[in-house]
Structure 1
Amino acid sequence: MDFLVLSADDARKDGLASEYILGLISFLTSLLAGVFGFGGGMLLIAILPIYLTPAAIIPVHGITQLASNASRMIFSWEHVQWNLLPKFLMGSLLGVVLSLLFLSSINTEFIPIAIGFYIILNIWSATFAKIMTRYESYYIIGFLQTGLGMFVGATGPLALSVLTKELKCKDEVVATSSVFMTISHLAKVPVFITIGFSLKSMSVTVLLMVIGAIIGSFVGTKLRNKIANKALIWVIKALLTLMAIRMIIMVIVN
């Protein structure tokens, strides 16, 4: 994680036009997340290498996702289950501290496989879900999602798989998940500052992507309200499963 202060030319590949394209892409991926509660961040980070150099991808992605999740939280404020927040927040703080102290020296290559199998079993195996209910804790979920999120992508579905099982309202699931993801992405900001990433060199790109993310969250929230509750919960479970399978396959292939 050795980032340098980037010049505008170093950070962008294709000039001014790419900034507006990235703003549009940010809108579309945030809209997707606004409807389903996840997926937009994964799609965005898969596209960013086309337009940004490697050193800029993680910081720009993190800032954009922070805007996407925070705005989605605000637009769904009344549906957030705030009683779950203190436990998740405490776990997240511990996860950040321990990850910075210890996880940098641990091989995290196969962690996505464990996450993938956990998501699949937790959603579709009643026996596994019943067993895990005895041990599942939002302290642990916060610790894993935020702590591992510093090094491993796609940890957000950890909390979403539990929320989908515990909460029966689609708006509560998406809104509460957005709060958790806001905390996880916010925790990365001190890391970006420490490694010396300069927002000044990327100000136009980041601004357009943040604006796109906020508008996408608003439109996605409105579209979510037009989809039946049971149908959307089923779609979320199906997409989580496909994402988990992809995580497992990508590690094995690579």
Structure 2
Amino acid sequence: MLSPFLPQGLTEGAALFLLLISFLASFITAAFGIGGGALLLAFMAALVPTAALIPVHGVIQLGSNAGRVLILLGSVHRPALTGFVVGSVVGSILGGLIVVELPASVVQIGIGLFVIWTVFSRAPQWLRDMPVLTGAISSFLTMFFGATGLFVASYTKSFDLPRHGHVATHAALMTLQHCLKIVVFGVLGFAFGQWIGFIVMMIAAGFAGTVAGRVSLDWIDEKLFRRALNTLLVLISLRLILGGLGVI
């Protein structure tokens, strides 16, 4: 049924499973503000060819985050965007120019430790006051690692926004970052065309998850949301660190 829309090497069973994960990932991110991108990347890494993993994941995440922005547009904290966008342009270009990839394990461990530190202490002042640097670092890393939503979530968290504002602002930042990443991969010659059918289905499943998660966001208690957000940040960070160390 799905075979005509799938690229070579991706089975129908794998595609159906990833569509379910796309729904769940977007539901989690819409309801709690973080976690879906890393969850989706982890499952895609086992089923999608390595050369296509980061660019295809980037397009899917662009669609997923853009859907959240559309639904929560009025809650976006616009002062968080400008400097971050400037830095993201610089970081994306530098990442695309580097031939030798950074070791994934180093990136995983570094991001995991940094985010855990920001959960249990006050976010460093530069994270909020130097959005250009924050945008540049996270956009540089996303060219090699893919799921830097945790890093961007730490920046968003530093503004201490209400739950709707946090989710909306984080989605806007990630939409801009993934858009830049896709442009760079396109310039580098990645053939997105053969993946377009699969990408469209994944974005549609993700949007359905966003709508469902948006309903949950309305009734989640503010304190519960903060605890859930910090718990997710720590759990995913520990998963990144253990993966980088080769434990799991």
- TM-score normalised by the chain length of structure 1: 0.85
> Which deviates further from its counterpart, 53-62 or 76-85?
53-62
Residue 211 in structure 1 maps to residue 212 in structure 2: no
> How much has 1:204 moved relative to structure 2?
2.5
Q: CA 1:155–1:88 in structure 2 vs 1: closer, same or farther (change >3 Å)? A: same
> Counterparts of 1:107 and 1:20 in 2: how far apart (Å)?
31
Partner in structure 2 of residue 77 of structure 1:
73
Alpha-carbon RMSD: 2.3
> Counterparts of 1:21 and 1:135 in 2: how far apart (Å)?
37
> Counterparts of 1:242 and 1:103 in 2: how far apart (Å)?
32
Partner in structure 1 of residue 191 of structure 2:
198
Residue 10 in structure 1 maps to residue 8 in structure 2: yes
- Taking only the aligned residue pairs, the percentage that are identical comes to 30
Match of 1:23 among 10, 14, 19: 19
Q: CA 1:34–1:102 in structure 2 vs 1: closer, same or farther (change >3 Å)? A: same
> Counterparts of 2:132 and 2:180 in 1: how far apart (Å)?
16
Residue 148 in structure 1 maps to residue 154 in structure 2: no
Q: CA 1:207–1:133 in structure 2 vs 1: closer, same or farther (change >3 Å)? A: same
> Counterparts of 1:49 and 1:133 in 2: how far apart (Å)?
34
Residue 133 in structure 1 maps to residue 131 in structure 2: no
Match of 1:68 among 48, 64, 68: 64
Q: CA 1:114–1:63 in structure 2 vs 1: closer, same or farther (change >3 Å)? A: same
> How much has 1:51 moved relative to structure 2?
3.9
> Counterparts of 1:41 and 1:66 in 2: how far apart (Å)?
10
What pairs up with 1:168-183 in 2 under 5 angstroms? 168-183=161-176
Mapped contact 1:22–1:208 kept (Cα < 8 A): no
Deviations 1:101-132 (A, max 9, x none): 34746556423322222212222124xx4xx2
Q: CA 1:172–1:103 in structure 2 vs 1: closer, same or farther (change >3 Å)? A: farther
* Amino acid corresponding to residue 57 of structure 2 in structure 1: H
Residue 47 in structure 1 maps to residue 39 in structure 2: no
Deviations 1:148-195 (A, max 9, x none): 110124322122123223223011111101111111111121233234
Residue 100 in structure 1 maps to residue 100 in structure 2: no
> Counterparts of 2:166 and 2:8 in 1: how far apart (Å)?
39
Q: CA 1:250–1:78 in structure 2 vs 1: closer, same or farther (change >3 Å)? A: same
Task: Report how many aligned residue pairs link the two structures.
Answer: 242
- TM-score normalised by the chain length of structure 2: 0.87
5+ long unaligned stretches in structure 2:
none
Partner in structure 2 of residue 4 of structure 1:
none
> Counterparts of 2:38 and 2:104 in 1: how far apart (Å)?
18
Partner in structure 1 of residue 178 of structure 2:
185
SS of equivalent residue, structure 1 residue 110 = helix
Partner in structure 2 of residue 237 of structure 1:
230
5+ long unaligned stretches in structure 1:
1-6
Residue 246 in structure 1 maps to residue 239 in structure 2: yes
Deviations 1:36-90 (A, max 9, x none): 1221111112222454333332232111111101111111111100111111101
Mapped contact 1:31–1:218 kept (Cα < 8 A): yes
SS of equivalent residue, structure 1 residue 151 = coil
> Counterparts of 1:247 and 1:27 in 2: how far apart (Å)?
22
